Structure 1
């Protein structure tokens, strides 16, 4: 049962001696590493493809003859359509498996990113990025389920932090490509989209070489043992269990959408127009703005890794709140200075807090989700939150156009003030939502039945527990039968020993 307004608490103390972190890492098999690294790479590719627009706002404006606000419509449309992809690919993954839905998803991302690089008109570009949003929407849920479900429970917190920072690594790689490759080649901004497409195609190839998730295979075998064998029956059961799950967890759906709305507003509000803010309001060159972006992403990667590790001991919600408050504390350093060093330091610290809190999200919402729907449920909540926050860049661009400041005697848009107010309000909202929410620390979702198994929609439908109960029943019957046989043998022996009267 989901308990809202749950008290903040430390992670429960383990009842059995726990293996050290390094011992757990060494025990991870090559196949498990493969699953995790491919999930991480898929999410990294997703970020590279997405932030290609953020890093190319100025050349795109020149290419299509549009202002910044109009170019950011491409970002808005991408975010709007991501929820469609989350529903589509999440359902395919929970119903048919982790492997081929992710392979197809990555190929689609690669094709659409490649196509965006060939667009010659503004309308073509908007259409390509809208379709790209559908493809992009499926990646997160499939990446998280692929990466986390096969790992030991004791590693999932730190693995979650590093998985989520694949997004920051993708942003970092895109920024490096924008810094070095784009100015050096004739295609210019197009080369960034084409390079990102190539990396996504490579990730699809790697996932195709790996087998199906061992956890998903185990759940599928259990369903077939329970009599759900044909694909038609599996689909019928899947639809029935989905309906039952939504009836039971509709309030949790609303909560997770609110949570992910706050987180997505926070991420997009602090990242999407950061290079534009430094160029337009602070007067930095495109080169220096890109360097500052790289530094901020180094802070994000560090924060996600540290927060994911701490969440194993402090609990998911406590860790999230600590890092959100940390990001809020450094907002003044983000917006007030004018020197490169101070602004870069502020960006590092703010992103350390923002992406530190984000680093706990993959495992936190996967543990909260109904276990049989851990590809669909978190992915859809994540992307609906993205849809609600899709206008972040346009809100900031419009606000900055109306709130102006002076730079070297010239009137410029005041992105500093707009982002400071925006990020501060969203941080407060996200802290509040996290406070009132539930927590399900270290849930054993890898032991759960599949969504196409009878009763799989229930949170308590565990494969091992059911098998254990069956084995106990068998042992009890065997024990009872053995006892009856011993009693019969004893009575027979007693009869034989009765002395006969002469």
Structure 2
């Protein structure tokens, strides 16, 4: 008999057939639900434009600062290293205070730092700004995913996950188009790309500012108002429930980091140095390299949406397994040809597989997360994985410096990024397959019914109770919190 982690790859029949038809669900969504989803998508799209501004500008930055590829990719590494700090800071703020204002502040900080990236004059200034930018950037994904998914019906979350995640590919696509048509036409050159991304982040902040708070936090706020807890009391509850969550889910935290380490190596290893690979190893012009990047991101957008939708019916893990196998099948087409058409086709199908597998990740992490910590847990796991994989571009750059090849019409040896990328992505794909297969899956989880992190029992994954149960909840609160609330209540009843 097959082991359970294999037989459980396909969800039970009642899980697959649960709920309403997708089109009926989509027609039932309110404008607020649509607004929450698209504001999360837009925030993640802006995040990608911001990040890939460096990847697309490597050659221009080399000319500006007189540095080689390995030095320029240090900026990418520093950004990825510090994103985990931002995930912790903004994830905690979101789970403690709500989804709206932490995301607004986060986007405003990103806009300011991206604007500053376009004004630097030295390489040291550029590294400093991009390092601080990594902290601000680290908060976006967890807040965007929780905002976009938790307000939707469970039947729509698979498709929504794929579309939301491909805000990343759309952002890369937008950045590539700006780099292709705007940057060569303006006197400021590469700086225009960073300033454009700053304006987009500012726009996303304004959009989120106009929308209401997430319904789950409005419910929790109403519940707290009913019990009359003070801000100090809420903070104590939050810290207590955080400790409870870590005691219960520490092994899940380790697993999530391993999973996201593999996924981040997949994405950054196949994308960050791709324009440089097309120019240095294959001899194409910056224009052609950008066009190939655009074609690859079209594959990413298609893969993410399809995979997210399919995962609603065949399960999250099985969908990831299928799309990772697609990656392995198309690695040869991605690295062996020398013609533009074949390499572009390889980029399309590699990104179809990479971002198809990624399209399942927002909902997979949201469903496996401790429900009360849906911003902190996925965001931190994602960004710690980013931190571990932060050197992927430098690994490829260093490997290319030591492994040389020749291209037609050029007698000098050039970096063999094709071989380096093929080996890296092949090994990482195998790792992701194993980690995905042995991992958990909570397909169709109704995490919106659980308590938030500012309610007692949130850290133990308890279901939210009705207001009629407030008195019974009061008896189970930690002694220190209950005594303080009783004292405050008595004080309020004293005559003035």
TM-score (norm 2): 0.92
Q: Distance in 2 between matches of 1:192 and 1:48?
A: 9
Cα distance 1:11–1:17, how it changes in 2: closer, same or farther (>3 A)? closer
1:49 maps to: 50
2:191 maps to: 190
1:418 aligned onto 2:417: no
Cα distance 1:228–1:308, how it changes in 2: closer, same or farther (>3 A)? farther
Once the two structures are TM-superposed, the CA of residue 271 in structure 1 deviates from its matched residue by 0.2
Once the two structures are TM-superposed, the CA of residue 469 in structure 1 deviates from its matched residue by 9.2
Alignment of 1:327-338 (within 5 A): 327-338=327-338
Identify unmatched segments of 5+ residues in structure 1.
474-502
| 3-state SS of paired residue (2:242) | helix
Q: Distance in 1 between matches of 2:246 and 2:441?
A: 19
1:200 maps to: 201
2:182 maps to: 181
Once the two structures are TM-superposed, the CA of residue 14 in structure 1 deviates from its matched residue by 3.6
Report if the CA contact (8 A) 1:42-1:143 is conserved: yes
Identify unmatched segments of 5+ residues in structure 2.
473-496
Match of 1:433 among 412, 423, 435: 435
1:489 maps to: none
Q: Distance in 1 between matches of 2:108 and 2:341?
A: 40
Q: Distance in 2 between matches of 1:12 and 1:215?
A: 28
1:89 aligned onto 2:90: yes
2:364 maps to: 364
1:249 maps to: 249
1:281 maps to: 281
Q: Distance in 2 between matches of 1:390 and 1:4?
A: 34
Report if the CA contact (8 A) 1:8-1:318 is conserved: no
Q: Distance in 2 between matches of 1:42 and 1:435?
A: 31
Q: Distance in 2 between matches of 1:100 and 1:470?
A: 30
1:490 maps to: none
Q: Distance in 1 between matches of 2:180 and 2:398?
A: 27
Q: Distance in 2 between matches of 1:9 and 1:261?
A: 21
Q: Distance in 1 between matches of 2:8 and 2:69?
A: 43
| 3-state SS of paired residue (1:119) | coil
Once the two structures are TM-superposed, the CA of residue 4 in structure 1 deviates from its matched residue by 9.4
- Number of residue pairs matched? 466
Once the two structures are TM-superposed, the CA of residue 5 in structure 1 deviates from its matched residue by 4.3
2:491 maps to: none
1:481 maps to: none
Once the two structures are TM-superposed, the CA of residue 407 in structure 1 deviates from its matched residue by 1.2
Q: Distance in 1 between matches of 2:194 and 2:12?
A: 46
Cα distance 1:211–1:418, how it changes in 2: closer, same or farther (>3 A)? same
Alignment of 1:320-331 (within 5 A): 320-331=320-331
2:351 maps to: 351
Once the two structures are TM-superposed, the CA of residue 244 in structure 1 deviates from its matched residue by 1.0
1:39 maps to: 40
Q: Distance in 1 between matches of 2:208 and 2:348?
A: 33
Q: Which has the larger radius of gyration?
A: 1
Q: Distance in 1 between matches of 2:403 and 2:298?
A: 30
Once the two structures are TM-superposed, the CA of residue 228 in structure 1 deviates from its matched residue by 5.9
Once the two structures are TM-superposed, the CA of residue 470 in structure 1 deviates from its matched residue by 5.3
Report if the CA contact (8 A) 2:9-2:437 is conserved: no
1:99 aligned onto 2:100: yes
Q: Distance in 1 between matches of 2:38 and 2:423?
A: 37
Report if the CA contact (8 A) 1:268-1:392 is conserved: yes
1:309 maps to: 309
1:156 aligned onto 2:157: yes
Q: CA RMSD in A?
A: 1.7
User: C-alpha deviations, 1:252-283, integer Å up to 9, x for none?
Assistant: 00000000000000100000000000000000
TM-score (norm 1): 0.91
| 3-state SS of paired residue (2:360) | helix
